[in-house]
Amino acid sequence: MGDVKSLEQLALVAAFLSPGLIALFVRAQFLTGRMDTTKDAILGFFTLSTIYYGLLAPFLPWLATRGLAPTSGALPLFLWTVVGPALFGSVLGVNASRGWTWNMLVRLGLQTVHVIPTAWDRTFGQFPAAWVTVTMKDGSKVSGFMGARSFASSDPKERDLYIEKVYRVDEEGAWHGVGDRSILVPAGDIRCVEIMPDRKEA
């Protein structure tokens, strides 16, 4: 009986944690790609699962009459515990990345903590094609074009940049191509990054 009770407890914990875990995992893909892995994150999983179930509870009687309640079979259970949380997480992720709720609260005069933790993550999370000039710690500069083939690290411990096309900037500020050259800029060498998104690649 002890084993059965343990399995029941495990299933109960999974039922209340897995929707929040899946939703937060999917949401993270729209932001930094990172999830909180500390013990405190369990409370977040539980809270989001509770919100998810609360939003779906009014529809449960209607779904039950159509054989779509979570206890109706394997497919409904899969839809409730995997597909539903993934869709919920996608909505949360798009909302967070677009800043819809945050902007609405700001307009109402309510200042809240932004969901994206750093300026680096916010800048490069949805980075459009842009011209950049990276100033190194030794004062030297690297200029180039960052497009679809470029990359900015999402690892908070290694903020490196891969610039897909390097350019030389002369004293008059004109940009000149230097052939098919790209560059990887290590995080430890970066002092600041100047971004010029409105210019078009020559």
pLDDT surpassing 60 at residue 125: yes
Among 165, 173, 102, residue whose Cα is nearest residue 131? 165
- One domain for residues 10 and 87: yes
Looking at the structure, tell me whether residues 78 and 146 fall in a common domain.
no
Choose among 11, 70, 16: nearest CA to 44. 16
Residue 3: predicted pLDDT: 46
Same domain, 21 and 83: yes
* Domain identity same for 8 and 93: yes
Q: Residue 188: what pLDDT?
A: 87
Q: What pLDDT sits at residue 77?
A: 74
CA distance 159 to 85: 31
d(CA 49, CA 34): 19
Number of helices (H), then strands (E), belonging to the chain: the values are 7, 8
| CATH for 188 | 2.30.30.100
Q: Which of 86, 107, 128 is the last residue of a domain?
A: 107
- Helices 2-29 and 41-56 cross at an angle (nearest 10°) of 90
The last residue of a domain, from among 107, 132, 166: 107
- Whether 90 and 132 map to the same domain: the answer is no
Q: Which domain holds residue 103?
A: 2-107
Round to whole Å and give the CA distance between 71 and 88: 20
What is the mean pLDDT of the segment spanning 24-37? 78
pLDDT at residue 197, as a whole number = 76
The CA distance from 114 to 100, in Å, is 11
Q: Are 76 and 135 members of one domain?
A: no
pLDDT bracket for residue 108 (50, 70, 90) = confident
pTM of the model: 0.59
Euclidean distance between CA atoms 14 and 43, whole angstroms? 13
pLDDT of residue 5: 55
Position 76 scores a pLDDT of 76
- Please give the Cα distance from 163 to 111 (Å, whole number): 35
* Phi-psi domain of 44 (left: phi exceeds 0; alpha: psi -120 through 50; beta: other): alpha
Asked whether the predicted pLDDT for residue 151 surpasses 50, the reply is: yes
* Helix H or strand E segment including 40: none
Residues 14, 53 within the same domain? yes
